[in-house]
Amino acid sequence: MTATMPLPGLGLPLRDVAANLQTVKGKEVEQQHSGNITEYLEQNMGSVTVNSAQGNPYQPDVSFRGFTASPLLGTPQGLSVFQDGVRINEPFGDVVNWDLLPQSAIANLQVIPGTNPIFGLNTLGGAIAITTKNGRTNPGGQIEISDGSFGRKTIEFEQGGATDNLDYFVTANDAADHGWAEHNASRIKQMFGKVGYQDADTSANMSLTAANNDMQGTQTIPRSFLSNPGQAYTYPDQNINRAALWSFSGSHFYNDDVQLTTNAYSRNYSNANSSSNVNGNYGVNNSIEATNAFSRIDQNSYGIGFQLSYQGKLAAMENQFVTGISGDFANSRYKNFSQNAQFTADRNTVGIDQFVLGTDAKTYNSNLGIFMSDTLSLNRQWSITTSGRYNDARVTINDQTGMQPLLNGDHVFSRFNPGLGTTYNPKPGLTFYTNYNEGMRAPTAIELACADPSAPCSLPNDFIADPALNPVIARTAEFGTRGKFGDKSKWSASVYRTTLDNDIQFISSSGATASTGYFQNVGQTRRQGLEIAANTIVGQFGIGMSYSYIDASYQTPFVEQSASNSSANAKGNINVQSGNKIPGIPQNTFKLLLDYAAMPQWDIGTNLLYRSAIFARGDENNQDRNGMIAGYSVVNMFTNYTISKHLQLFARVDNLFNRQYADFGVLGQNFFNGPGHSFDGNNISNEQFIAPSAPRGAWIGLRYLWM
């Protein structure tokens, strides 16, 4: 059976699933020894790409079919992410902090494509559902240590077991990483624990996910800095994330055909962000070179969900009906401060006065959803799935300073989103499917409070006012097929089109900094594409490949301020036309996995990733003279050797051929054209800023196992 709901349920036979699901088990993730789960997604899952806009390997933007789940406030979020049925998009900004969940806790991970209404808000391009381990299915324990390039040292522990009706599982890790570049060190501390009860009809689990992470970033750098790609444009830039998620889940079978599933959670999250910035107003009557910005988010969120599943007969045909309700609520406090600063010769920002409070706001989020899905098997060949969800999203913003009354506001967004899918199975092992789904994304507090063209703000540091923004509506149509050749070979192919109405775009208002501007509904955008994947086993070789083509474009013309774009007019404006490509989304991606079992105790694996060129942000009209950021190919390798029953040796090499490439870019102004790239406010150049790749890195480790 295949899970197709946020909460665990009865599941559907794969033949009745009208979607191109991708599923991976925790053991497969573990085998490759990726530095974190986002690296694994990038190298193995079809239509997934990653960019390093923040310069830290634990906080990348993850995109699927051109839709993003990002830790960066203000990034339009188009993917929903779940952990054991709990939505982990943070209520404040809908961001996803990939650094909070230990990779070793993952039992399986599923990428659900399309605008599936069942998964609620932000499911514009897809959903990622993570199921964690328990002691019943993961008994025994292990400890592993690794060391290698960039001063990265890790230690990881896990232990699980079961006695009669009770089971437990715990895992924890500590990673110290100096970073491959200057000023991008990280310290990652993660923990996950679960206790459970299970009998013939009932199961219940209580879990704790906790993290205490300190991450530094390096920002993008101008191309003129590439003689030393590891240097920082300005520094310091730091993110400190702390979180504790308590989650309860339970299910009960009333009989073989009726199951009730429920969950409840409470989450405390805090973020402290320090960033160094060029003062975009430097010049006439202003000799302040830099600003230091500090912001803090304190968030308490909680929620509950119920799901009832029933399978039986409808007019002598097999039928499964699922209905449920969920509620997610959060109180957040956001503060930001700024400080005037000057640059040292190596672009460190040194404060020259005190921090001044800019914004102090409280926000309240309420997201309610009622959903249903019904799958009717007309016979062994045909099935029809109808689904729908009613979403009610509310955002309240209250200024706490008394100085920004325009910040105050109550916003309500509600809509019913339908879905319809069909499958046809002409013979065992061959399926054709088609589906049509609709979904919604509500504007976030960040977007609502930064939507006034006459009062642009600097993200994530300032709130100004709250003109109305419309919710983003997504409509997806997809057709696909999948099949098997014997027991060792599988393949799939699909074509899709997702159209967004009222898409929200961050409109830059100054060439001095790429993060100053406002949010605006820009009409219609579209992502359409093709996906092909196959895997097989030939003798001692395991082979897997995927290819994706994504055509992401604006469909409604609009005017954008992008003064660093060489095609901008005298006012710094560019005209974005229908058909212009959306920046940051590669059209072509190819992935190849080769796994060779050299001996029963030794395997060697290779990942090949190819990504085509992308446009930089700020080049939404695709006319900047810098052109596109070049595509690239990169090869990674991993190996596992079993020394004894209890001891394993493993190793990994990233960027085997030490390729230099960039996976992200933005247009901006370079203020550092003085000697040794020091500050020179009288010699400012418009340049393409890029996020350089990490050089070759290698790590080796030992794992000790016991039962």
In a domain, 489, yes or no: no
| Spatial separation of the C-alpha atoms in residues 509 and 522, rounded to whole Å | 15
In a domain, 682, yes or no: yes
In a domain, 4, yes or no: no
* Count, residues in the chain: 707
| Whether the predicted pLDDT of 260 surpasses 50 | yes
In a domain, 1, yes or no: no
pLDDT for residue 685: 93
pLDDT for residue 7: 80
Task: Answer yes or no: are the C-beta atoms of 485 and 524 closer than 8 Å.
Answer: no
pLDDT band at 280 (very low <50, low <70, confident <90, very high): confident
Report the range of poorest mean pLDDT among 26-40, 226-240, 394-408, 512-526.
512-526
Report helix, strand or coil for 11.
coil
Give the number of other Cβ atoms within 10 Å of residue 454's Cβ.
9
pLDDT band at 455 (very low <50, low <70, confident <90, very high): low
Give the number of other Cβ atoms within 10 Å of residue 248's Cβ.
16
Task: Answer yes or no: are the C-beta atoms of 7 and 127 closer than 8 Å.
Answer: no
Pairing of β 79-83 and β 126-132: parallel
- At 573-620, the pLDDT tens digits run 999 999 999 999 999 999 999 999 999 999 999 999 999 999 999 999
Average per-residue pLDDT in the chain? Answer: 92
Type and span of the H or E element at 313: strand 290-314
The separation between CA 630 and the C-alpha centre of its own chain, rounded to angstroms, equals 23
The residues, any chain, with a CB within 8 Å of residue 507's CB and separated by 6 or more, are: 453, 517, 518, 519, 520, 522, 560, 561
What residues are paired with 212 via a beta bridge? Answer: 242
In a domain, 6, yes or no: no
| Spatial separation of the C-alpha atoms in residues 295 and 67, rounded to whole Å | 26
Dig out the tokens for 371 from the structure: 């959903």
Quick one: which of 424, 451, 428 has its CA closest to 505?
Answer: 451
The residues, any chain, with a CB within 8 Å of residue 12's CB and separated by 6 or more, are: 1, 2, 4, 320, 375
Q: Which residue has the higher pLDDT, 147 or 217?
A: 147
- At 105-133, the pLDDT tens digits run 999 999 999 999 999 999 999 999 999 99
**Beta strands per DSSP E along 17-58:** 22-25, 48-51
pLDDT for residue 457: 66
| Spatial separation of the C-alpha atoms in residues 418 and 408, rounded to whole Å | 33
Dig out the tokens for 153 from the structure: 């040292």
Mean pLDDT of 16-23: 93
pLDDT band at 409 (very low <50, low <70, confident <90, very high): confident
| Whether the predicted pLDDT of 9 surpasses 90 | no
C-alpha to C-alpha distances, 310 to 9, 10, 324, 372, nearest whole angstrom: 9, 8, 12, 11
| Whether the predicted pLDDT of 453 surpasses 80 | no
Dig out the tokens for 140 from the structure: 């025994």
For the CA atoms of 363, 472, 582, 444, the dihedral, rounded to the nearest 10 degrees, stands at: 0
In a domain, 656, yes or no: yes
- At 473-525, the pLDDT tens digits run 999 999 999 999 888 999 999 999 999 999 988 776 554 444 566 788 889 99
Report helix, strand or coil for 354.
coil
pLDDT for residue 509: 59
User: Which amino acid is located at 357 in the chain?
Assistant: L
Task: Answer yes or no: are the C-beta atoms of 617 and 624 closer than 8 Å.
Answer: no
Report helix, strand or coil for 118.
helix
Q: What percent of the chain has pLDDT over 90?
A: 80
In a domain, 7, yes or no: no
User: Is the C-alpha dihedral spanning 554, 557, 560, 566 positive or negative?
Assistant: positive
In a domain, 569, yes or no: yes
Task: Answer yes or no: are the C-beta atoms of 439 and 418 closer than 8 Å.
Answer: no
| Whether the predicted pLDDT of 62 surpasses 60 | yes
**Parent domain of 237:** 14-483+495-538+548-706
pLDDT for residue 514: 47
Domain count of the chain?
A: 1
| Domain of residue 417, CATH code | 2.40.170.20
